[in-house]
């Protein structure tokens, strides 16, 4: 599964919503509408080589239906004068999402985007997973890129309806999103730099990030 969070909640984490069955629609709002009351998102921690202190920011839209994570140093590179540790960068967000009493959520879909310059023969990778505190992490979803490439990139993670993971009703559990970028030299020249960068991750209930809502007993 995978992926996304919030707008009215926020995480990241992600899943595209296929058509629901009658049983599904009994408790879910597939229209993507959040609960009527305000959703509050607290950023507990931001850690990782791809998001050093003060280089990542999380902003929630005024109507609580979207969130944006903006990075200023999330880039993996290889070749040229790159350091050996530059080939892999990661960022983990720990978010506390407060939803109105009587509701819980799962993540439906997450979109990632950025820019990549890959020399012929070089490779790039974006991968991400997510999980609620106390649960096992979802498997990573990998998106591979190959050189030659000098362009924007976008990757989308989706999850089947049967694989949706909901925050347990009545429990406060932080939501973790782990994103990683890698680049490989491959058969490209070691003297030439290749890189993959994540400019920002945007989410919106009706565009990038989709939530499945469920009423609690």
| pLDDT tens digits, 22-64 | 333 334 333 346 566 776 777 788 899 998 888 877 766 666 5
Q: Could you give phi then psi for residue 24, rounded to 5 degrees?
A: -65, -45
The long-range contacts involving 59-63, CB below 8 angstroms and separated by at least 24 positions, are 60/6, 60/7, 60/10, 61/7, 61/204
Greater model confidence, 197 or 137: 197
**What average pLDDT does the segment 76-101 reach?**
91
The structure tokens listed for 145 are 């890129």
pLDDT at 147 over 90: yes
Q: Domains of the chain, with CATH numbers?
A: 22-215 (2.60.120)
Cα–Cα–Cα angle for 39, 25, 212, nearest 5°?
Answer: 30
pLDDT tens per residue across span 164-187: 788 888 888 888 889 999 999 999
């Amino acid at each position: 599964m995978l992926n996304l969070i919030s707008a009215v909640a926020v995480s990241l984490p992600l899943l595209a919503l296929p058509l629901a069955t009658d049983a599904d629609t009994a408790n879910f709002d597939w229209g993507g509408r959040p609960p009527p009351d305000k959703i509050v998102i607290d950023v507990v921690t931001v850690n990782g080589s791809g998001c050093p202190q003060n280089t990542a920011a999380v902003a929630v839209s005024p109507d609580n239906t979207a969130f944006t994570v903006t990075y200023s140093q999330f880039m993996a590179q290889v070749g040229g004068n790159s350091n050996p540790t530059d080939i892999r960068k990661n960022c983990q967000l720990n978010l506390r999402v407060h939803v109105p009493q009587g509701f819980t959520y799962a993540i439906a879909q997450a979109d990632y985007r950025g820019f990549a310059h890959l020399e012929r023969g070089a490779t790039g990778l974006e991968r991400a997973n997510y999980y609620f505190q106390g649960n096992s992490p979802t498997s990573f979803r990998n998106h591979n890129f190959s050189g030659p490439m000098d362009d924007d990139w976008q990757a989308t993670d989706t999850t089947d309806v049967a694989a949706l993971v909901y925050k347990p009703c009545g429990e406060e559990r932080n939501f973790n999103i782990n994103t990683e970028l890698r680049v490989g030299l491959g058969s490209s020249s070691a003297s030439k730099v290749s890189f993959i960068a994540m400019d920002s991750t945007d989410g919106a209930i009706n565009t990038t990030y989709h939530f499945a809502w469920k009423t609690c007993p």
